[in-house]
Amino acid sequence: MSAETKPLTHNIRPDRPLGLKEFEAAGGFTALRKAIKEMTPQEVQQKVKDANLRGRGGAGFPTGVKWSLIPMGPDAGAKYMVCNADEMEPGTFKDRLLMEGDPHSLIEAMIVSGYAIQATTGYIFLRGEYTVAADRLSMAIVDARNKGFLGKNILGSGWSYDVHVHTGAGRYICGEETALINSLEGRRANPRYKPPFPQISGLWGRPTIVNNVETLYNVPHIVNRGSEWFKGLSKVKDGGTKLYGVSGRVKKPGCWELPFGTTVREILEEHAGGMQDGLKLKAWLPGGASTDFLTDQHLDLAMDFDTIAKAGSRMGTGLLTVVDDKQSMVSVVRNLEEFFSRESCGWCTPCRDGLPWSVRILMALEEGRGKPGDLEMLEQMTKWLGPGKTFCAHAPGAMEPLQSALKYFRSEFEAGIAKSKVAA
């Protein structure tokens, strides 16, 4: 394994991360020196833009484009670089792996990215449960401060910047970038209205970039090896490698760094070893609870944003959750909607009232006491709670597995409607 082919994972040591000296010997902090000493902030931005790096948090927005919306210049004032390390999307287990196994790289990435937008402070918004990552990142920040990579006038550039770890206290909604900003300001994590977008008015009303952990890990490597190298790692037009993973009842669940655009079949069969003996694949979520189900008809698709979108779902975080043939789809969807219902922040009515309602219907169907019209009501909800009807993407995300389960497995839902007394 080399930095050339596996940039994200080659420095990972899950049990004992590399110390500062080992990290530097493995090429650590070379991108930081190169960016600050040899490149202008705009050149770093341009390089990331040219690399076609798209956000790995789920939405797939081009990172370089996001950065280019930040006001630059000597009068720009306070600006913030925020790392979204609030990994809580069900079925997603990649950011923990990176931060626990290679904490120094995230600090280097936060410095290079902060330099690119000329941020004044960086915050890593880390979920409170990731206690091991919190300790290791805090130690890596101290290492970087001692080296003079954080603080005043970094490497004589005239640019001053520091990074802090901010740990959360639960609630899935904190992963939504404007809710995250409210939480970071010490408020309840209700999402904010957009526009203005955080790039213009974010943390404390200042220009702010929020990037996912995995997205940031790519940045130092793009600076080191260039945009063309980065694009060459991929099988599709989006650049780089991707942490793909599989959970559910497969033989070898896990997470692997593979070329962007690897097929679902390769991920499932070669890396995850296929289904456990006696089980068949029934459905799968491409990247988290808020993505539409796909089926065994979709295994030859490339796992990239555009291909999975064309098939009617979203790549999301890129970590698959596999549902086997022994599971009831009604129960699986009930589990998902219970999650979304509990995690609704309660700010807007469709989400706050609609999600618990969908859970009640799904429980009735699960127990065979559904009523005629229940399926139509669920279908109606996928519209009432869909895109454009709510303040943020929480409820529309919740509707994705529901609408696709109804589409592909309708008979299972129909079977939950109680037979009328006359018919019995």
Partner 1 sequence: MTTKLADLPKAKHFELTAEMARAIEHEVAHYPDSKAASIEALKIVQKHHGYVPDGAYEPVAKLIGMSAAELFGVATFYSLIFKHPVGKHVIKLCDSLSCYLTGYEDVKKAFERKLGIGFGQTTKDNRFTLLPICCLGACDKGPVLMIDDDTHGNVTPDGVDKLLEKYA
If the CB atoms of residues 181 and 222 are measured against partner 1, the closer one turns out to be 181
Backbone angles phi, psi at 370, to 5 degrees: -70, 160
If the CB atoms of residues 89 and 238 are measured against partner 1, the closer one turns out to be 89
Backbone angles phi, psi at 408, to 5 degrees: -90, -25
DSSP run (H or E) holding 166: strand 162-167
Which token pair is 247? 């959970």
Q: Residue 180 CB, nearest distance to partner 1 (Å)?
A: 12
Q: Residue 93 CB, nearest distance to partner 1 (Å)?
A: 5
* Strands of the 281-285 sheet, one edge to the other: 254-259, 241-248, 319-324, 281-285
Reply yes or no: is the peptide bond before residue 74 cis, omega within 30 of 0: no
Are 123 and 275 in contact by the 8 Å Cβ rule? The answer is no
Q: Residue 190 CB, nearest distance to partner 1 (Å)?
A: 8
If the CB atoms of residues 29 and 347 are measured against partner 1, the closer one turns out to be 347
Q: Residue 171 CB, nearest distance to partner 1 (Å)?
A: 6
Distance CA 239, CA 43 (A): 18
Q: Residue 129 CB, nearest distance to partner 1 (Å)?
A: 6
If the CB atoms of residues 18 and 333 are measured against partner 1, the closer one turns out to be 333
Look-up of token digits 């390390």? 85
If the CB atoms of residues 201 and 335 are measured against partner 1, the closer one turns out to be 335
Strands 241-248 and 254-259: antiparallel
Distance CA 341, CA 334 (A): 10
Distance CA 189, CA 321 (A): 27
Q: Residue 78 CB, nearest distance to partner 1 (Å)?
A: 7
If the CB atoms of residues 112 and 322 are measured against partner 1, the closer one turns out to be 322
Which token pair is 362? 């799904």
Which token pair is 163? 């990074």
If the CB atoms of residues 47 and 96 are measured against partner 1, the closer one turns out to be 96
Q: Which residues bind partner 1 (CB under 8 A)?
A: 78, 87-93, 95-96, 127-132, 164, 166-172, 183-189, 204, 245-249, 253-255, 285, 289, 319, 321-324, 327, 332, 335-336, 338-339, 342-343, 345
Distance CA 74, CA 119 (A): 12
DSSP run (H or E) holding 282: strand 281-285
If the CB atoms of residues 13 and 252 are measured against partner 1, the closer one turns out to be 252
Distance CA 395, CA 206 (A): 28
Let me know the angle formed at the C-alpha of 37 by 31 and 41, rounded to the nearest 5 degrees: 80
Q: Residue 415 CB, nearest distance to partner 1 (Å)?
A: 20
Q: Residue 357 CB, nearest distance to partner 1 (Å)?
A: 20
